[in-house]
Amino acid sequence: MKTITSTVKTTARALALLSTALAAPLAAQTLDLAWSQDATGLDPHTQPGFATIRLLELMYEPLVRLDEGLELQPALAESWSFSDDGLQLTFQLDGDAMFHDGTPVTSADVRASFERILDEETGAIARANYTSIINIETPDDATVVFELDAPNAPLLNGLASVNAAVVPASAIEAGTLGTEVIGSGPFTLDARTPNASANLSAFDAWHGGDVAYDGINISVLPDETALLAALRAGQADFALINDPLVATLVPRTEGLQLNTAPTLSYYVLQLNASREPMGELALRQAIGCAIDRQDVLDAALLGEGEVTGPLTSPAYRTDPSGLFCYEQDQDRARELLAEAGYADGFTATVIAANGEPPTASAVAQVIQSQLSEVGINLEIEMLELSVYIDRWLAADFDMAVALNGGRVDPYTMYNRYWTRDGNLQGVANYIDDTLDTLMIEGRAETDEAARAEIFGNFESHLAEMSPWIWLFTGNTYTAQTEGVSGFVSSPTGTLFGLVDVTLAE
Amino acid sequence: MKYLLGRLAVFPLVMLGVSVFVFVAIRLVPGDAITAMLGTEGGMLTPAQREALAAYFGLDQNWAVQYFRWLGGLFRGDLGISVTYGQPVLDIILERFPLTLQLALMSMVVALAIGLPAGVFAATRANKASDLIVRIFAMMGQSMPNFVVALLSIYILSVGFGVLPTMGRFVTFSEDPLGNLAQMILPSIALGTAFAAAVTRITRAAMMDILGEDYVRTARSQGFSQGYVIWRHALPNALIPVLTLSGVEFGYLLGGAVIVEQIFALPGLGRVVLDAILERDYALVQGVILFIAFNFMLVNLLVDLAYAALDPRIRYGGNA
């Protein structure tokens, strides 16, 4: 038996080597990229999925882009300015910008793109971020003026997203956005088989500069451990890794490098204040005091992350230890429980999604054991992702373990939950005047220092009211072989840094 | 002939039943294509946006209308359009099926090449040490899930040898025969070894039964050699249960091997169905499941016909 398997393995190895030799490319330098989740579509305006955005960011461009320090950088626009009253935002386009079909990018394309995003028929995913745009003027081919209904400081950051990409007016006209890619970004799409592979070529006429290699071959390897195997065997030069458990194995492997960046998205225990007994402030605070956030992080994510308050963006993030009950205090938790009339504790159900993220069930279990020490009895309900989302959107839960997406600007990140007319206020199920007022002030304020103060107050009030228990942020991971150099990770998780990469011969 | 016609008449009825069942089942699962695509961001949609998307995905009609539309398409050979691929479902099936068929065939070859000789070998040495060793291996093979074999083989190759057949960039046999075989050999072994164990045990049991039968003893006493008796008289009869088992297994394999396809990143039918279910791509789920059901029935029919050819008692109305 043993000889048979070793013969088979030798044969397999020989075949593998032979096929690699036969399929060796002719002098073209390509980056072999592997990831486990593939894009679910090609329309940049309607696709919110993490995996889809990673792909489309390499081919489409918004007006502005965020660098690894989350500072605004020019993309299609070379400069921008607000009018003094804050009601007009003017962009000057880069005159060299060109779409993959060779036509120049003009203000007409920008206007058509935003009219499409704002049209409710489109189902554009980020539409809510741009509804303050009431009119778009195009004085000449290189100038676009957005007229706003009120001053809106977060708008610029909101525009730095591939969900606000500029697409050719002709492609909108032809209705081809779902099936082919004509962007203005650094790579063109040559071929794609969903959930299997995609081939990208460097776009010679990209206005942003030259890419040092010829293209990217993307392979979808659904199993995260297979990503690691592909890197080891030299089949992939670069991989995007989601599972912290797999990521921690990378540095232990000779010749592989792990790139880590803290994410903006945050793990949180959402309490549903419309469900008894979570309506009681003292009881919600008790839950917060009973949890040891660092301990959950260490046990469920192998310590791969950082304890956080509600604000996760580097410009606003501060040391959370000053927030309400950020050090575990079980005595205080018991006092607060008694104050709420639940001295003997209570029983509640917590929902979490299977495998989304891979650490969700572990987080739920650690929280369950910590809360049991003060008499709170949690029942964990693991659900398939779409079922979880349905229940979550309907606020059909006592508590939920969630990994919610973050944004650079606190207003864009939280207005959906913590304003009176936020789209997801029905999911958050808690609001007070303080939160609503601070959010509205923060939206209109343009001075950075003043904004930091407003959102600092917002954060400490939110932590004290404990509608949710914020836990920690995780990391975004990429892994690369020695032949790859020059990639810089970003907290947004974007792979746009691949344009600066050079490959060893 | 009459038997064949009777069997064929049942086909459309079963297919209709499967079509209704799949159609309803996938819609009973909470969440739809919009939820699957947008996730929690779906809560950000205005009612008008949601309606526009529902119309785009064809979710705005009631079930009966949706079903009869789909059924009408079926009769014209149109299985609908997949929302995730933006292509006709039939094209996707025809593109993926060759891989699934090849994987199924190669796995069967691996299983039978190991299982048949091992089973015969064990039966002829019944209750000796060598028989015991084969049986222990068979037990291990049956109790080790195929994905464990798959993961182990990847791990050993990538860590031990630093090589791996290319994953995630599948080439067809006609494009690059060697490259294709290199990609398919490990998954075939992973799928084949587990089934080989089952073939071994069934073959062994069937051979032991037959070797104890009167006519085999008669043949032996007439001075035919041991080998001649085993291969010429006993094996064809012992093949009948093996054939049944293999038919069922082959029918399953034609439905795709989800886990092994996931591990080796093979774009076969199993993964297509899995992704389609997770993304609530109704047309694709319905089309592929119907196709799989059709194949399963076809394989079963062929097995029954082969069975009849091997065992005359079945052909003549079972008056044994």
> What is the tens place of the pLDDT at every residue in A319-375?
999 999 999 999 999 999 999 999 999 999 999 998 888 899 999 999 999 999 999
Q: Characterize the bridge pairing of strands A347-353 and A377-383.
A: parallel
Predicted confidence band of residue B313 (pLDDT cuts 50, 70, 90): low
Contact A310, A264 (CB under 8 A): no
State yes or no: pLDDT of A401 exceeds 90. Answer: yes
Q: Characterize the bridge pairing of strands A347-353 and A399-404.
A: parallel
pLDDT the model gives residue B317: 52
The more confidently predicted of residues A392 and B216 is A392
Q: What's the whole-number mean pLDDT along residues B227-249?
A: 80
Residues of B in contact with A48 (CB under 8 A): 37-39, 41
pLDDT the model gives residue B134: 86
pLDDT the model gives residue B275: 87
The more confidently predicted of residues A479 and A446 is A479
pLDDT, tens digit, for every residue of B264-302? 888 889 989 988 988 888 999 999 999 999 998 888 888
Percent of chain B with pLDDT over 90: 14
Q: Which of B183, B40, B7, B217 is nearest to A400 (CA)?
A: B40
Q: What's the whole-number mean pLDDT along residues A139-166?
A: 94
Asked if the peptide bond before residue A320 counts as cis, ω within 30 degrees of 0, the response is no
Within 182-211 of A, beta carbons closer than 8 Å to B belong to 193-197
Percent of chain A with pLDDT over 90: 75
Q: How far is A337 from chain B (nearest CA, A)?
A: 32
Q: What's the whole-number mean pLDDT along residues A458-466?
A: 96
pLDDT the model gives residue A21: 43
**What's the mean per-residue pLDDT of chain B?**
84
pLDDT the model gives residue A164: 95
Is the Cβ pair A178, B38 closer than 8 Å? Answer: no
Q: How far is A106 from chain B (nearest CA, A)?
A: 28
pLDDT the model gives residue A4: 45
Distance of CA B146 to the CA centre of its chain: 13
Contact A164, A63 (CB under 8 A): yes
Percent of chain B with pLDDT over 70: 96
Q: Which two tokens stand for residue A214?
A: 């010829």
Q: What's the whole-number mean pLDDT along residues B50-62?
A: 84
Q: Tell me, yes or no, if A131 comes closer than 8 A to chain B by beta carbon.
A: no
pLDDT, tens digit, for every residue of A185-242? 999 999 998 888 999 999 999 999 999 999 999 999 988 888 998 998 888 999 999 8
Supply the DSSP string of A395-441, one letter for each residue.
T--SEEEEEE---SSHHHHHHHHHSTT-TTHHHH----HHHHHHHHH
Residue type at B292?
I
pLDDT, tens digit, for every residue of A55-78? 999 999 999 999 998 999 999 999
pLDDT the model gives residue B262: 87
State yes or no: pLDDT of A10 exceeds 80. Answer: no
Dihedrals phi, psi of B46, to nearest 5 degrees? -80, 160
State yes or no: pLDDT of A17 exceeds 50. Answer: no
Is the Cβ pair B158, A124 closer than 8 Å? Answer: no
Supply the DSSP string of B277-292, one letter for each residue.
HHTT-HHHHHHHHHHH
pLDDT, tens digit, for every residue of A408-454? 999 999 999 999 988 899 999 999 999 999 999 999 888 889 999 99
pLDDT the model gives residue B314: 58
State yes or no: pLDDT of A7 exceeds 70. Answer: no
State yes or no: pLDDT of B98 exceeds 60. Answer: yes
Three-state SS for A24-54 is CCCCCCEEEEEECCCCCCCCCCCCCCHHHHH
Q: What's the whole-number mean pLDDT along residues B101-110?
A: 93
Q: Which two tokens stand for residue A7?
A: 């013969």
Which residue, among A223, A403, A407, would best test binding to B if mutated, counting the most B CBs under 10 Å from its CB? A223
The Cα–Cα gap between A462 and A82 comes to 31
Q: What's the whole-number mean pLDDT along residues A110-123?
A: 94
Predicted confidence band of residue A23 (pLDDT cuts 50, 70, 90): very low
Q: How far is A119 from chain B (nearest CA, A)?
A: 8
pLDDT the model gives residue A16: 46
Predicted confidence band of residue A403 (pLDDT cuts 50, 70, 90): very high
Is the Cβ pair B156, A9 closer than 8 Å? Answer: yes
Predicted confidence band of residue B63 (pLDDT cuts 50, 70, 90): confident
Q: Which of A504, A505, A496 is nearest to A200 (CA)?
A: A496
Q: Count of CB contacts below 8 A, A vs B?
A: 190
Within 144-203 of B, beta carbons closer than 8 Å to A belong to 151, 153-159, 161-171, 176, 178-179, 181-183, 185-186, 189
The Cα–Cα gap between B192 and B108 comes to 6
